[in-house]
Structure 1
Amino acid sequence: MEKLSQTRAPIYEALEAFRKQRVVPFDVPGHKRGRGNPELAELLGEKCVGMDVNSMKPLDNLCHPISVIREAEELAAEAFGAAHAFLMVGGTTSAVQSMVLSTVKRGEKIILPRNVHRSVMGAMVLCGAIPVYVNPECDDRLGIPLGMSVKAVEKAILENPDAKAVLVNNPTYYGICSDLRSIVALAHAHGMLCLADEAHGTHFYFGDNLPASAMACGADMAAVSMHKSGGSLTQSSLLLTGPEVHEGYVRQIINLTQTTSGSYLLLSSLDISRRNLALRGKEIFEKVIRMAEYAREEINQIGGYYAYGKEICNGDSIYDFDITKLSVHTREIGLAGIEVYDLLRDEYDIQIEFGDLGNILAYLSIGDRPRDIERLVSALSEVRRRFGGPSVGLLSQEYIEPKVIVSPQTAFYAEKESLPLKESAGRVCSEFVMCYPPGIPILAPGEKITEEILEYIVYAKDKGCSMTGPEDPDIERLNVLKGV
C-alpha cells in the first residue's frame, strides 16, 4: 500500500481535475454549474458553483467510498491518530448522533453529563436509549456547569453495570475538560465504550499546551467539529473511531440519516483543512494561544470582568482548561452575558459566539488577527463604562439538576397536551427547551418541569436569550405528557 502523504488533498485534487475536463452535465444539481441560477452564481462565484457537483465515478461516493473519499478519510484518520475517520456533511450533530446510535439501542443505558448538546438528546429520542445522568459540579461564582468528576462517573458505572457507554464533553462550550484518560480507563475496565463530544476540541489534536484529545486518551469514538476551530466550511465535521470499533457497522448507521448527496464543497473543505492542520497546525494554534492569553490578560485589567483560564483547574471536575476559549464572566459589571453579547453586536459591530446569563464566549481560532482582539478588548471596556452597573438581581445559576421521569424517546412520542408555561409546573415535559447557542437543553423530553426551571426560562427570555426547541415559537406554552 502506498504511504499516505499529508501534503495530499485527494478530493480537492479530483475536483480540480474534473473541472478542467469541461464535462457537459446531464445530472444533478439542476443549476448546471450555476448557469440555471445566475444570482446564485454571482453570490458564490462561478468556481464555487462549478464545483457543486454530484457523486460520480471519478469523485467517489460518500455512502460507500472506495477511491478519493476513502483516501481522504485515511489521511484524516492518520492526522488525528484514529483507526478510522468518517467525513460528515450533516454537521457535528450528525456525527454525535451516529456515534450514539452506533453504541446503544432501545432500552440500553448510556452514562453522560446532563450538560450535553441537544444532538445527544436527539439521538436518544431516535434510538430509545436510557440516559444515566452524572450531574456536573457547578462553579457558584461563574454559574456554569463543570466537567464530570471521576468519582461521580465511577459511582454511575457501579450503580449501572449494564450501561453500554460513557459519553464525555471534551471540552464543554466554556473550555472545561474532565479527566478523560481516567474516565476512558474506568469505562474500559467495566466493559463499556467511551465516547467524546469534541465539537469544540479540533485543535487539541494539533496544538501544544492544550488538553489531551479523545483519541490520545484511548476513547472509542469522537465527534469533531472541523468547521469550528479547524477552518472548514460550516456543517462539515469528522467522526473518529478507535481500533475496537467496527468501521462497517458505523458506516451503516451513518447512512441511515446522512444525505446520499454529499456536498463536494463541504467534503473538499474538510480535505483541505485537514491538510492545513496536519502541515501547519502546531504553528497556527501556537498563535491562537498567544492571542487568547493576551486578550485574557487585557480583559482582566479592565475591572469587573473575569476572563478565566487555567487557574480554575482543580484536578478533577476542571481537570484541564482550553486556553484558546475566551470565556468571560460578566455579572460583576451588572450585565448578563446575553446583554453584553447584544451590546457588542448592536453598538460595536462585533459578533461573539454566545452569551448566557452570566458569561460570554469569544471564539478564537485560525482566522483571527491581533487587531481584532484589540477591538474586542476596547469594546468590552466601553461596554462596562457606558452600560455597567451593580450586579443586584442577576440570576447566577446556569445548571439545574433534572428529574428524569421517563426516557426521552417515550416522552417525545407519547400522547401530549399543551399547557400555558405557568400551568406546566409538576408535569413531565415532552419537548426540548434550550438557549441556542450553546444548545444545552434546560428541559429535555421525559424530565419534570419545576418552578425553578420555569423561573429560569422566563428570566432567560426577558434577558434576550434566543430560546429554541418547543413547538410554540413564542415559548408561552409547553407540551407535556397527558395524564402524567
Structure 2
Amino acid sequence: MKNLNHEKTPLFDALMEYVNNNTIPFHVPGHKKGKGMEKRFLDFVGKNVLSMDVTVFKQVDSLHKPTGPIKEAQELAADAFGADATFFCIHGTSGAIQAMILSVMGENEKIIVPRNIHKSVTSGIILSGAVPVYMQPEVDKNIGVALNVTPEIVEKTLKDNPDAKAVLIINPTYYGVSADIVKISEIVHDYGAILMVDEAHGPHLKFNEKLPISAMEAGADICAQSTHKIIGSMTQSSMLHVKADRIDVLRVKQVMSLLQTTSPSYILLASLDVARKQMMIEGKKLLDMTIELSEYARKEINNINGLYCFGDEIVGKNGAYDFDPTKITITAKGLGITGHELERILAEKYYIQPELSDMYNVLCIFSIGDTKEKVDYLLRALRDISSELYKDGVDIMKSIDIPDIPEQVISPRYAFECSTVALPLEESIGQISAEFLMAYPPGIPVLCPGERITREIIEYVNEMKNANLSIQGTEDPNVEYIKVVNDLQILNITA
C-alpha cells in the first residue's frame, strides 16, 4: 500500500475544526452541542464531547458514502492493520461479524464454524440463510474452558464437506487461546474456501511481536475486530478488515451500508481514528507495558493459595497453538467456589468488576489502560479472599462436561421463521429448538435454532442455573420455557 502518514487523524481533525470554528448547528441532534441536554448529564459528560456529536454533512463526511475524512481514516486503518480495505463499524463487532457473513454467504451455502462461536455468528448465519457445519474445539476440562480448533479438525471437516464455501474461526478466543491460524489459512485456501476470522479479542495483535499473529498477517480473507476491547476506541466501535483477493470489497461495502444506521455516532468514529494512530505510533511500547503487567499479575496469582491463572504452559496442547498473555483467567476451584461467586465477591466487596465469570473462572482483561496500582489492588483483594476461604484439602469442584453438539434437523433460519410453541424445559426433550440456549457471557450456545433438544442439554442448563450462572437466549427471561418448532409439515418430515 501507499506510504501513509499515521500521525494524521483526519476524522478527528475535521470534527475539531467544526468545534473550533464555533459552527452554529441548525442540524440534528437536538441537544445542539449540549445546550439542550439534561443538566446532570451535561455536568457529568461536559460540553466537549457533546460539541462533536454531529450528523452527516460534507465537512465531516458520510459513513455510507465516504469521500473525505472518513475515507482517509479508513484507508489509514487498512494500512495499519494490513488489509486491502477497512470499514468502520459503530454497531459493535457483533454487527461487523454479521456483515462479514452476509458479505460472503448465501442461502443454503455451508459455513464451517467452531461450536464455541459467539451468538453474533449464529445471528449472521440466520440472516444469511447459510447452513452451519460445526467443529468441536478442544476443551481443557481442568479449567472448564474451550480452547481452539486444530488444523486437523478443520481439514477433516472440509474433507467431509468439500462444498463448504467458508470457514470461520475465533482467534484468539475470549480466554486468549490462539489456533495455528497460518496452517488453517493454507488448508482452507487449498480447498478453495474463504477464511473468516472473529478477531474480536485480538485488535492489538498486529502491534507487538510478543503476541500471537494477527488474522490479516496469517492469511485470513476477512476479519472483524473489537477495537474497543484492548486498544483505545470507545465501546461499540469496531473494524472490519478485508483482503480483496477472494472477497468482493464492493459487496462488503453494500452490506455494511445495509446494516449500519444512517445516523452514526461521530464520537465513536473519531475514537477509531485516534485508536489507530495511537497503535501505530505508540502501540509497541504501550503493549510491552501491558504484557509486563499481565505476566506480573499471573505470577502473583499463582502464588495465592487456591487460585490458578494459566499462561504459556497451555501452549502445545491440542487447540492451543499460541496464547495472548493479556487475558487473565483466574480459576477459583481450589477455593471451593464458582467463578460466579468470586466475581460477586470482587464486585460487591472490593468494587472490582471482571469481564466475565463462568463455572470455574473469572476473566480479567488487561489493556493499555491498566496500571500497576490497580493490579496490586486486585492482587490484595484476591489474597484477602484466599485467606478467608482457602482450606488445605478442600473438595475441589467437580468438572461439568459441556454437552455434545446436538443433531441439526433444519437450518437455523428455517427454525427461526417457523411457527412455534413454548414448552417447559423438561417437556421439550426431543423437540426442535426455535431458540438459543447459552451461558452469557461470553454468549456461547449449547443449543441453536434448528437443533434437537436432548436430556443432556437440559441437565447441563439446570446445573448452570443451580450455580447461579446466567443462561440466556430464550424469550422467557427465567429460562423455564423454550420455544420449539410447531410446524406440522416439518415435524412430519423430521420425525
- CA distance in structure 1 between the partners assigned to 2:342 and 2:390 by the alignment: 10
Q: Name the amino acid aligned to 1:10.
A: P
- In structure 2, what residue type is equivalent to 1:435? A
Residue 118 (structure 2) pairs with residue 80 (structure 1): no
**Compared with structure 1, are the counterparts of its residues 326 and 417 closer, same or farther at alpha carbon in structure 2 (3 Å cutoff)?**
same
Q: 1:71-470 residue pairs with structure 2 within 5 A?
A: 71-244=72-245, 245-314=247-316, 316-388=318-390, 390-391=394-395, 394-398=398-402, 400-470=404-474
Between the two proteins, what is the percent identity of the paired residues? 42
- The answer as to whether partners of 1:335 and 1:388 remain within 8 angstroms in 2 is no
1:35-74 matches, within 5 Å, as 35-39=35-39, 40-74=41-75
Q: Which residue of 2 aligns with 1:21?
A: 21
* SS of equivalent to 1:102: helix
Cα pair 1:222 1:241 within 8 Å, conserved: yes
Unaligned stretches of 5+ in structure 2?
Answer: none
Q: Distance between the aligned counterparts of 2:429 and 2:403, measured in 1?
A: 18
TM-score by length of 1: 0.97
Measure, in 1, the Cα distance between the counterparts of 2:409 and 2:396: 35
Deviation at 1:388, TM superposition (A): 4.5
Task: Report SS of the residue matched to 1:59.
Answer: coil
CA distance in 1, matches of 2:407, 2:266: 44
In the TM superposition, what whole-angstrom CA distance separates every residue of 1:386-438 from its partner, at most 9, and x where no partner exists? 23463455443346433322211111111111011221122121112222211
Cα separation, 2, equivalents of 1:2 and 1:320: 32
Give, as a single letter, the amino acid of the residue that structure 2 aligns with 1:27: H
Uncovered stretches (5+) of structure 1, i.e. residues with no partner: none
- 1:111-166 Cα offsets, whole Å, 9 max, x none, are 11010111000001111100011111211212221211111110111111111111
My pick for the range that moved more, 107-116 or 300-309, is: 300-309
SS at match of 1:57: coil
CA deviation vs aligned residue, 1:247-269 (integer Å, no higher than 9, x gap): 21101011111111110000000
Kindly indicate whether the alpha-carbon contact (under 8 Å) linking 1:109 and 1:130 is maintained by their aligned counterparts in 2: yes
Residue 284 and residue 293 in structure 1: after superposition, are their counterparts in 2 closer, same or farther (change >3 A)? Answer: same
In the TM superposition, residue 315 of structure 1 has moved relative to its aligned partner by 5.9
Taking the aligned partners of 2:47 and 2:58, their CA distance within structure 1 comes to 23
Return the alpha-carbon distance in structure 2 between the equivalents of residues 2 and 340 of structure 1. 50
Query: Following TM superposition, where does structure 1 have runs of at least 4 consecutive aligned residues deviating by more than 6 angstroms?
Result: none
Q: Distance in 2 between matches of 1:316 and 1:220?
A: 25
Residues 190-246 of structure 1: per-residue CA shift (max 9 Å, x gap): 111101101000110111211010000010001010000011100000000113122
> What letter matches 1:30 in structure 2?
G
CA RMSD in angstroms comes to 1.6
TM-score by length of structure 2 reads 0.95
- Give the residue type in structure 2 aligned to 1:434: M
Q: Which amino acid aligns with 1:170?
A: N
Q: How many residue pairs get matched?
A: 484
What is the CA deviation profile of residues 427-462 of structure 1, one whole-angstrom value per residue up to 9, with x for unaligned ones? 121112222211112221112222221122122222
Quickly say closer, same or farther: Cα 1:393–1:367, change in 2 above 3 A: closer
Which residue does the alignment assign to 1:9? 9
| Change over 3 Å in CA distance of 1:72–1:357 after alignment to 2 | same
- Shift of the 398–306 alpha-carbon distance from structure 1 to 2, 3 Å rule, reads farther
Name whichever of 66-75 and 371-380 sits farther off: 371-380
Partners in 2 of 1:133 and 1:425 — Cα distance? 21
